[in-house]
Amino acid sequence: MTDTPALIVGLGNPGPDHDRDRHNVGYWLVEAIAGSGGARFGNEQKLHGELCQVSLSNQSVRLLKPTTFMNHSGQSIRATTDYYKIPVERVLVIHDDLDLPPGVARLKFGGGHGGHNGLRDTISHCGRDFLRLRIGIGHPGTREQVVGYVLRPPGRDELPKIEDALREGHRAIELLLQDGLAAAQKFLHTAAPDIDVTKDL
């Protein structure tokens, strides 16, 4: 594999009703990357998403926000990779993760969907072999509470931690482009809380 992404995808749900949902942290980070690069997203109906292009770590990278709603994210990702002829191995998907506490970010290549519907649909359209940046949002405690939890904003104590993780994730992406996956993982994973980073989610 080549671990330098050409397409960075932030998962989320479109529309103002979902702007601040925990489920939209992927959107938050690609929007921050676009803003730091002076780029603006434009709607691309044929790709079922909003797209822009930035220079990041001296490399040209496309940023994508699927507008298909979370459960159909893979439709937009596959349309974009097909249109620009981007190998799936050069796609980085940023998503919320219930199994990581707020404030923790993790970077990995490949794996399953761990119950995340955006990843589930992406895998169904593109296969498993893409990069993932997992942004921890914590777990509400029971399976029955999950839908309401991810579709609400983070609490006052959680939000600063998630924002810290997004900043670290942004820096990890820069390192990924500069120095490769191992360097980016080392940055994110070495000073982290004692959790299982090898779990295949």
Mind listing the pLDDT tens digit for each residue in 114-155? 889 999 999 999 999 999 999 999 999 999 999 999 999 999
Catalytic residue among 23, 48, 116, 170: 23
CB 154 within 8 A of CB 190: no
Residues 79-88: tens digit of each pLDDT: 999 999 999 9
Residue 200, in any domain of the structure = no
Residue 184 falls within a domain, yes or no?
yes
- Band of residue 1 on the pLDDT scale cut at 50, 70, 90: very low
Q: Of all residues in the chain, what percent carry a pLDDT higher than 90?
A: 90
The answer to whether the CB of 95 falls within 8 A of the CB of 21 is no
Question: Residue 181 sits in a domain of what CATH number?
Answer: 3.40.50.1470
Q: Is 189 a catalytic residue?
A: no
Q: Are the C-beta atoms of residues 111 and 97 closer than 8 Å to each other? A: no
196 within a domain of the structure (yes/no): no
- Number of domains into which the chain is organized: 1
Residue 57, in any domain of the structure: yes
Average pLDDT over residues 63-68: 98
Query: Does 195 fall in a domain?
Result: no
Does residue 128 lie in a domain region?
yes
Asked if the structure places residue 197 within a domain, the reply is: no
Q: What is the pTM of this model?
A: 0.92
Whole domain around residue 113: which residue ranges? 7-189
Q: What is the pLDDT of residue 190?
A: 84
